Amino acid sequence: MQPTQRPLLARLARANPTSVFLATLVLVLVAFFAPAPVGGVLLLALAAGLVFLLATTWSVQAPQTRLIRLVMLTLLVTVALVKLL
């Protein structure tokens, strides 16, 4: 690990991508089928985690990737807010 790397990010980099995808899919499905306030809060928690990752990796992403990630994050927050209301 490089001295400038954060331990959390180094740990995330070692995670199995398939496991991360499946865990995220399960979280989203639970949030979609959970009652309104619980599902919305779960989706907002997922969005907060994605904001952290997006802010951390912003400088190394291509502009097209940044745009796609911002659009997807906006959609996720929109669905979460609709679920809350």
Residue-wise pLDDT tens digits, 61-83: 899 999 999 999 999 999 999 99
Tokens coding 68: 């796609």
How far, in Å, CA of 5 to CA of 22, rounded? 26
- The yes-or-no verdict on residue 85 having pLDDT over 90 is no
Which has the higher per-residue pLDDT, 70 or 4?
A: 70
Tokens coding 85: 């209301």
Q: Report percent pLDDT > 90 for the chain.
A: 66
Question: Can you give the residue ranges of every domain in the chain?
Answer: 7-84
> b vs e for 37-58, b when ≥16 Cβ sit within 10 Å of the residue's Cβ?
eebbebbbebbeebeeebeeee
